[in-house]
Amino acid sequence: MLVYLSVLDSGEDKDRFSELYMQYRDAMYRIAFGILHNSTDAEDAVHEAFLSIANNFSKYKEIPCPKIGDLFVIIIRNAAIDIYRRNKKSSEYCETYEDSKAVTETDFFEKFQYEQLRAAIGKLSAESQDAIYLSCIEGYTAGDMAKMLGISKAAAYKRIKRAKNALKQILEKGD
């Protein structure tokens, strides 16, 4: 709570904020948990909501007590929904990668000989060869790859996916 109080100027504002914090924190947590179904994310939502309230406390301190509860419900709901959307967006990247991994990595590559795979990899672009080498041979994760190449994690997932799909096409054609 010290983080929130450090944003406020007067002692009166700090006292009023502390009162409101103690009164609404549990209810706000329950609302956030109901949306997110994850205690860590719910705590993050409550933190973001109270930080927003503290930063704009001059707007809220004149609102009568019954109405401020309604306002806090709206603020926590929006904070929880923002976190939900962020989590959903990042999980879509992971699911896309996992789906492509399942489709291209399973038994398909195992039915080829080492020399066939090596020749097919040689036909890929340098970027795709690097992606295959780092992910499949060296065993780096997309996160590690992203750091090494200076790209986003999503871009690393896409490179791996594209490289594996290109390799699969080359092997299917049998060139």
Work out the pLDDT band at 103, boundaries 50, 70, 90.
very low
User: What six digits make up the tokens of 53?
Assistant: 């309230």
- Encode pLDDT of 35-92 as tens digits: 888 889 999 999 999 888 888 887 876 777 678 888 888 999 999 999 888 887 766 5
Distance CA 105, CA 110 (A): 8
Tell me, yes or no, whether 101 lies in a domain: no
pLDDT at residue 77, rounded to an integer:
92
Do both 84 and 115 map to the same domain? no
Q: What is the CATH number of the domain that holds 134?
A: 1.10.10.10
The number of beta carbons lying within 10 Å of the beta carbon of residue 48 is 18
Please say if the pLDDT value at position 108 is more than 80.
Answer: no
65-105 vs 153-173: helix axis angle to the nearest 10? 30
| Mean pLDDT of the residues in the chain | 81
For residue 104, the model assigns a pLDDT of 45
Which of 89, 120, 155 is a domain's end point?
A: 89
pTM: 0.51
Please check whether residues 84 and 6 belong to one and the same domain: yes
**Residue the block writes with tokens 């949306």:** 35
**Domain assignment present for 137:** yes
> Count of domains in the chain?
2
Which residue segment(s) compose the domain that 133 sits in? 106-173
Residues ≥6 apart with Cβ < 8 Å to 134: 140, 144, 145, 148
Residues 120 and 168 in one domain: yes
Average pLDDT over residues 100-114: 61
| Axis-axis angle for helices 39-55, 65-105 (nearest 10) | 140
Q: What's the confidence (pLDDT) of residue 38?
A: 87
The 3-state DSSP class for residue 123 equals coil
Whether 150 is covered by a domain: the verdict is: yes
Out of 32-41, 92-101, 149-158, 159-168, which region has the weakest mean confidence (pLDDT)? 92-101
Last residue of a domain, one of 54, 89, 124: 89
Q: How far apart are CA 48 and CA 64, in angstroms?
A: 22
For residue 97, pLDDT over 80 is answered with: no
Q: How many CA atoms lie within 13 A of 50 on its CB side?
A: 26
